[in-house]
Amino acid sequence: MTSVGGSGLRLLHVHAHPDDESSKGAATTAKYVAEGVEVMVATCTGGERGSVLNPKLAHDETVLHNIAEIRRAEMAAAREILGVEQRWLGFVDSGFPEGDPLPPLPDGCFALQDPVEAAGPLVQIMREFKPHVVTTYDEIGGYPHPDHIQCHNVTMEAFVAAADPARWPEHGPAWQAAKLYYHMSFHRRRYAALEELMHQHGMASKQPVPIRDDDPYSDGRLTTFIHCAEYFEVRNAALVAHATQVDPDGPWFAVPLAIQQAGWPTEDYQLKISKVPTIIPEDDLFAGLREPLVSDYVI
């Protein structure tokens, strides 16, 4: 593939559902696209079993009966806003089981696939796109949605398998991505900073996620802080494109944009794997890769 703007750098985000690419790391994406990095989103499922979370559409029969088609159209709109390429892995949404005891997952859904086998389509994308950097979720999926956990499992499997010429030879020559990150932007430090700034401006906190003292995504796991506040508006536009999932008057937008930009101007990550030397903390997902850039980086 040819690079956008001649940077030669390539970034692959692996997400569970359409809308995840807009709610996690979207400002980072927009920043790198603006800098000429080629960015691809691999979407594991079509979000077919996702609920309609926007109350304005929750009782629209047309939406309810055409959710799969509508979510594909929403993804197309968000893809254009972010300026990314996007591929579907073709798995079926598992839904979010609720109740006590939890109901069984639907037959054939993404979360019930063998990660070793399910990694095949992603291995093909990695070998074709040749990303230098890959992002995904941590071992609990960021939150315990079965598709998010499976997205983690499949990405970790594919990251290793794509570099092994003995595995999936039908998908082309082996490719070793240089770095793998976990998304970590929903953490206590960020929410505490935004809440404090809102109080200073006389506003009550209406953040979408409460602050937890036992939040696992605090200081110890944050390694990389991408300054991208000037792209928060692009992120918001991509989020709004997923109209079935995001209410533009809802909690995702409860914190004014200026407060977000001043209070926590970064999107944050944990560097999990690096094949190149780097220094923590980082302010660039491509730290260690820019000078010089090996255009066909293989280890």
Binding residues for Zn(2+), by number, are: 17, 20, 148
Is 152 strand, coil or helix? helix
User: Cα separation of 266 and 128, whole Å?
Assistant: 30
Phi-psi region of 108 (alpha: psi -120 to 50; beta: other; left: phi over 0): left
Question: 82 near 29, Cβ under 8 Å?
Answer: yes
User: Cα separation of 139 and 182, whole Å?
Assistant: 9
User: Cα separation of 299 and 281, whole Å?
Assistant: 24
**Dihedrals phi, psi of 195, to nearest 5 degrees:** -65, -40
Neighbours of 244 (CB within 10 A): 25
Please name the residues in contact with 177: beta carbons below 8 A apart, sequence gap of 6 or more: 12, 126, 131, 132, 133, 134, 159, 162, 163, 275
Question: 161 near 119, Cβ under 8 Å?
Answer: yes
Please name the residues in contact with 126: beta carbons below 8 A apart, sequence gap of 6 or more: 12, 134, 158, 159, 162, 175, 177
Residues marked as binding? 17, 20, 148
User: Cα separation of 88 and 78, whole Å?
Assistant: 14
∠ CA(206), CA(211), CA(214), 5° rounding? 165
